[in-house]
Amino acid sequence: MRRRIFGIENEYGVTCTLAGQRRLSPDEVARYLFRRVVSWGRSSNVFLENGARLYLDVGSHPEYATPECDSLLDVVVHDRAGERILDKLVESAEQRLMEEGIKGTIHLFKNNTDSAGNSYGCHENYLVGRLGEFQKTVDTLIPHMVSRQIYTGAGKLLTTPRGTQFSMSQRAEHIWEGVSSATTRSRPIINTRDEPHADAERYRRLHVIAGDSNMSEYATYVKIGITAAILQMIEDAVVFRDLTLENPIRAIREVAHDPTCRQRVRLANGRELSALDMQWEYLERAMRY
């Protein structure tokens, strides 16, 4: 593949418990976690020696944003480095709690939902060319984003009126639009906030916020790699079969709720395809390319 800049932002959940009961609020946990950061960087929003950014996001969520990476291996390595860095902050915070006579264990979660129904994100960033039709890029990518859950979803147990069921994606229930500038309330699959941090006349940032945080390095690798491969094909004017979904938001939930990966979703042209069918379509185009 051609050289491209990627980056991943992961928000983490935190809590502190003792004997199964909450010991400290998330705000208090965050303050203990970032005490070491503030003493070093004089802020809870810092750039690290490896080029990454570490900060407290809305809702007292520690967030680690990888540096700009130009290879798939690098972005996976830096994502894993973020986990290690936050693990060290947890160790330091627990030591401080012990010194202050506060009993409890701090738990750090690389997930996307909590027990109260809140969602926090794993955002992907891709540098793409400014030239070309952005809407065409979006139209080609959205069916991929909906169907790729079968190998990138982190999984969760979902409580419904019909009982508990397995969902392949933690994020699917919290997506409400295909494309928009929102990031919190009416979350889209693709966010249009355009911050290329490059020559803005030549480049733009593609900001994907519908994905799950992954513990598996392989899942992270294919999540970024396959999306980057599709972007390269779009830039090279490869013609894709029309996979435009009739209702992307309904489809992303239908795919998430079917662990067999055979649930068919309706396309705008009346066809019905499963997530596997759609991924095969992308694979066949890539093999020809």
Is the distance from CB of 90 to CB of 106 less than 8 angstroms? Answer: yes
Is the distance from CB of 205 to CB of 190 less than 8 angstroms? Answer: no
Structure token pair of residue 130: 């400014």
Specify the amino acid at residue 23.
R
Residue 172 DSSP class: G
d(CA 147, CA 255): 7
Task: Give the DSSP H or E segment for 99.
Answer: helix 72-99
Instruction: Please report the sign of the dihedral spanned by the C-alpha atoms of residue 109, residue 86, residue 119, residue 175.
Output: negative
53-57 sheet: strands from edge to edge: 45-47, 53-57, 61-65, 6-11, 122-129, 203-208, 188-191, 177-180
Is residue 79 among the annotated active site residues?
no
Residue 224 DSSP class: H
Which residue out of 57, 74, 114, 194 is catalytically annotated?
A: 57
Catalytic residue annotation: 57
